[in-house]
């Protein structure tokens, strides 16, 4: 169902199925890997209203690794690139896949979960590839700048001189938009493209 690709290596399409909804790829020599692509092969789609959470685990029993959430793939977004070079070994063991790797072999896990559940989870921030990172940072700054700028014109109703022909927008409406946009951006930096 899934494939896993590191530039310069063979594509892996034989994931080990460790439970009905969990799959694992081994990633030898992960120290030399910067980016990782996980994708749907296209032969079998995700069941309705589900997608795949992509996890990474480096280090094992000896290295004290833990599963870290990289991001998601779904039928609407059937492939994704992740940066793993900046990830530090976690400390919670390799659950929920209940498999341990040796310390030079990392593991990539795909867990099939409901889209609702996926939307509530936040990937480790360093897993986003850097162009998306700076793009997201810029967008956040821009949102903040617009919010700050418009806020500087804020008046309470008591401070206003009545002007029946002027139209006002409540500052709370701008703040609400700001928070919504920010949340959608965190969930998927490319949401505006769809």
Binding site for ligand NAG (CB under 6 A): 141, 144-145, 148
* Least distance (Å) between residue 147 CB and ligand NAG: 7
Quick one: tokens of 30?
């992960």
- What is the Cα–Cα distance from 78 to 52, expressed in whole angstroms? 9
- What is the Cα–Cα distance from 67 to 54, expressed in whole angstroms? 10
- What is the Cα–Cα distance from 145 to 192, expressed in whole angstroms? 19
Q: Which is nearer to ligand NAG, 102 or 145 (CB)?
A: 145
Q: Which is nearer to ligand NAG, 122 or 145 (CB)?
A: 145
Give the number of C-alpha atoms closer than 13 A to the C-alpha of residue 133, restricted to the C-beta side: 12
Q: Which is nearer to ligand NAG, 18 or 174 (CB)?
A: 174
Q: Which is nearer to ligand NAG, 152 or 157 (CB)?
A: 152
- What is the Cα–Cα distance from 12 to 38, expressed in whole angstroms? 10
* Least distance (Å) between residue 149 CB and ligand NAG: 8
* Least distance (Å) between residue 146 CB and ligand NAG: 9
- What is the Cα–Cα distance from 97 to 18, expressed in whole angstroms? 7
* Least distance (Å) between residue 153 CB and ligand NAG: 14
């Amino acid at each position: 169902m899934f494939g896993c690709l590191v530039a310069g290596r063979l594509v892996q399409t034989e994931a080990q199925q460790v439970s009905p909804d969990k799959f694992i790829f081994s990633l030898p020599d992960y120290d030399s890997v910067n980016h990782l692509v996980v994708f749907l092969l296209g032969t079998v789609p995700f069941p309705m209203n589900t997608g795949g959470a992509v996890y990474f685990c480096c280090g094992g029993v000896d290295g004290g690794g833990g599963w870290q959430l990289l991001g998601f793939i779904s039928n609407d977004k059937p492939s994704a690139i992740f940066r793993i070079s900046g990830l530090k070994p976690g400390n919670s063991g390799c659950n929920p896949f209940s498999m341990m790797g040796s310390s030079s072999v990392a593991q990539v896990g795909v867990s099939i979960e409901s889209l609702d559940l996926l939307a509530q989870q936040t990937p480790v921030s360093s897993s986003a590839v850097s162009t998306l990172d700076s793009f997201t940072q810029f967008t956040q700054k821009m949102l903040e700048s617009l919010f700050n700028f418009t806020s500087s014109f804020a008046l309470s109703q008591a401070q206003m001189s009545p002007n029946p022909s002027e139209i006002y927008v409540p500052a709370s409406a701008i703040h609400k938009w700001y928070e919504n946009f920010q949340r959608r951006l965190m969930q998927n930096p490319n949401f505006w493209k769809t």
